[in-house]
Chain A
C-alpha cells in the first residue's frame, strides 16, 4: 500500500549546485521512501565501507540494524497498523533512510581531543582519518548513536556527506542513487523551504501524522540538523530520539562542579591536618 498518492511531490528535480562555504545537507522525505536500500548500497560502494556482516536480524526487512562505523545509511522498516488504532488488522511499513545528522552543534566534534573531527567548508562534520587516534570519545557523545569505532581498524567512522564528491561538484552517492527523491541533497535553506512546503502539501491531503524532524532548532537541542527528516509517525518509531541534545551545552555547569569538587578536595586535605601535622 502506497503511503502517498497524488501528483509527484517534487516536479522540480534539480536542487541548486552548492558553492563552497554554503551549508549543505540532506532532506530525507520518508513518506516517499520505498525501502529499496539503494542508498545503503551506493554509500558502501562509493566510500569503500566494509561489510557489516551477513546477519539475519528477524526485524522486518531490516538486516542492517542501525547506523555504525560500517553503516552510514540505514533504512529502518517499522511495521505499524495501517489505520491509526489498527482496527482492521492491516499493516503498513514506515520506511526511512537514516544518516548522520551533521548537527549544527556537533557533540562528536566538540569532544574530539585530536581535532580529527572537523567542520568542512560545506558546514558538514567529517572525521580526518589521518588524524583520528581512536580514542572513542565521539562514540558515547553522539546523541543519535551514529558514529562508532571500527574495531579492526581502530579509528572512528561515519557519514562524510560524500565530502570528496562535494569537492568535485557532485551530489552524495545516496542522494544520487535514490530512485524516488526521498533523499534530497542541496543547500540547507533551500531544503528547509522544500520540507515545509511538502509538509503543507501532506497536511492538505489529510495526512495529519506527517511532521518534520530537526528542520531547525525547535525540536532539539543540537542547534538544528543538517540532515533532517519528514516522518509519518513518532520519531521513536524510526529509532530517532525525541529531543536530542548536545552534551556540551551543559559543559559550563560541569566544569563549575568539577572546580568546586577540586576545591573541596584541597579543603579536605587541609582539614585532615587541622591543628596537628601528624
Chain B
C-alpha cells in the first residue's frame, strides 16, 4: 500500500510572496557584500549601485513577508521573542538589523551626509548580508517537507549561489561596463555555484526529487537552468558592451527568480504528492 506510506503532511500555506522574498532577500544580502568589497577596493561607482540595489531589496522584503501573514497587523509579534530553533525568528532579527544598517548606509550615500556613519553601517550590512542570503534555506529545510528537509546540506549553497548571481547581474546592468568587471565575474561565479549546488541537491534527494520532474516545477527548474547558463555566458563573454551586459544580467536575474520559485513550489508538491 504505497499510498498508505505518507507523508500525510499539510501543504505549506505560504503565498508566492515568500518565493519572491527568497529572491529579494538574497539579492539584498549579496549586494551589500558586493558594495562593501567594491568600496574597500576603491571602486565607488560599483559600490554605490550595489548599495542601492541592496537597499531596494531590503525595502521590498518586509512588505512581502507581512502581506503573507494571516494576521498582518500582528507582524510585530515576531519581535516578542528570539528563538534559534525558529529560522523565521532568526530571519526576522537578521532582516531588521540588515534593513536598519542598509537604510542608514544608502541615505548617507545619496545625501552625502554623515559619511563615517554611513560607511560603518555599510560594513555592518555586509557582515549580516551573507546570513540574510542563506538563512532562508534553513527556513525551508526546517520543516517536515521531504524535498526541503532532506536537502538541508545543499540548499544553503543553492541560495548562496543564486544570491551571488543576482547581485552580480543587477550590478552589471546598472554599472558602466568599465567599472563592472567584478560584478560580471560574481554573476558568472554565482550562476555556476547555483547550478552545481542544485545538481548536488537533486542527487542527494534521489527519489524525493520527484517534484522537479513534474509540472509546474519541472518547467521552472528547466527555465532556471537555461536562463542562468545563457545569461552567464553572455555576461562572461560579451559583458564589456553595455547592451550585452544588460541582456545577460536580465537573463541571470530571471534564472535566479525561476530557481527560487522552482524550489519553493517543489515543497508544496513534496508535502502532498498528487
**Residues in chain A within 8 A of chain B (CB atoms):** 66, 68, 107, 110-116, 131-137, 139-149, 151, 153-156, 234, 236-237, 239-242, 245, 247-248, 250-251, 253-255, 257-266, 268-273, 276-278
Contact = CB atoms under 8 A, between A and B. Distances in A.
Nearest to A273: B182
A145 B8 contact: yes
Contacts of B74: 114, 132-134
A150 B192 CA distance: 42
Contacts of A250: 141-142, 149, 152
A134 B72 CA distance: 8
A269 B134 contact: no
A93 B181 CA distance: 70
Interface stretch (B29-37, B116-124, B254-262): B29-37
B86 A137 contact: yes
Contacts of A248: 85, 142
B185 to A, nearest CB: 4
B163 to A, nearest CB: 6
Given A68-B10, A140-B271, A273 B133 contact: no
Given A257-B152, A261-B134, A251 B168 contact: no
B84 to A, nearest CB: 8
Contacts of A273: 37-38, 41, 182
Contacts of A268: 160, 164, 186, 189-190, 193
A142 B144 contact: yes
A255 B142 CA distance: 10
A60 to B, nearest CB: 14
Interface string B132-156: 0111011001111100110011111
Interface string B62-99: 00000011111011011011011111110010000000
A237 B1 CA distance: 8
Given A139-B11, A143-B7, A268-B164, 20 more contacts: A111-B86, A140-B271, A142-B144, A145-B10, A147-B10, A148-B10, A151-B70, A241-B7, A248-B142, A250-B141, A251-B138, A254-B141, A257-B157, A258-B131, A259-B134, A261-B156, A266-B33, A271-B185, A273-B37, A276-B182
